[in-house]
Amino acid sequence: MKKKLVVFTGAGVSADSGIATFRDADGLWANYRIEDVCTPEALRNNRDTVIRFYNMRRREMLAAQPNPAHKAIAGLERYFDVQVVTQNVDNLHERAGSTHVTHLHGELTKLRSSANPDLIYPLEGWEQKPDTRAEDGSLLRPHIVFFGESVPMFDTATRIAARAEIFVIVGTSLAVYPAASLVRYVDPKVPIYLVDPGKPDTSLIRNPLTHICERAAVGMPQLARKLIEQFGGE
């Protein structure tokens, strides 16, 4: 039986495909404050700006391609029972071939009702028209968890983490909550592997920890080979 491998990914994975993160000093976020485009208040008070911003994010996503980190993670499905839990809102994991992806912070490829968070629609292409409505009559909004909103998929993610036999963290500073606390749900005997060139906050990790200090696109293929050699035949 394949070992259960959980891969928890953050913005550093998408950044290696050229997708800007909100911490970048340049790129798509350079001309916008988070408060103006990524809060419920912004959507309520400046809807056109918010819709335009997420249309630009979709265009950026569609122009990007999965990088070696995405592909390495997808390739691990040949050897492990892989679940990806991602903080990213793009679809690069799916386009690389990953088949079990839980999006903590929503998905750019979907819209939802402003009144009913369970009323979700796929979006073809990159453009949302500002005045499109759901079947309940409410205006559609990006299917994104804005700052200040609850994270409805977090409970699902904690159950996935609790079942992990190997836990991998890639491209995240472990600074955004509640997502960063996911490591507390991993059995303390389970090995954790961290791929990030910086110094993520590992204060919540109580497990055996291996840190590969590389960008996602470099370190994740290295780690994938190591995991296959060490555990892939079990």
The catalytic residue positions are 105
Task: Tokens 């911003």: give the residue.
Answer: 53
CA-CA distance, 165 to 54, in Å (whole number)?
Answer: 36
Residue 5, number of CB atoms within 10 A of its CB = 24
CA-CA distance, 5 to 3, in Å (whole number)?
Answer: 6
CA-CA distance, 101 to 230, in Å (whole number)?
Answer: 24
The answer for residues whose C-beta is within 8 angstroms of residue 212's C-beta and 6 or more apart is 193, 194, 195, 196, 219, 222, 223
Report helix, strand or coil for 93.
helix
CA-CA distance, 114 to 120, in Å (whole number)?
Answer: 10
Report helix, strand or coil for 56.
helix
Report helix, strand or coil for 210.
strand
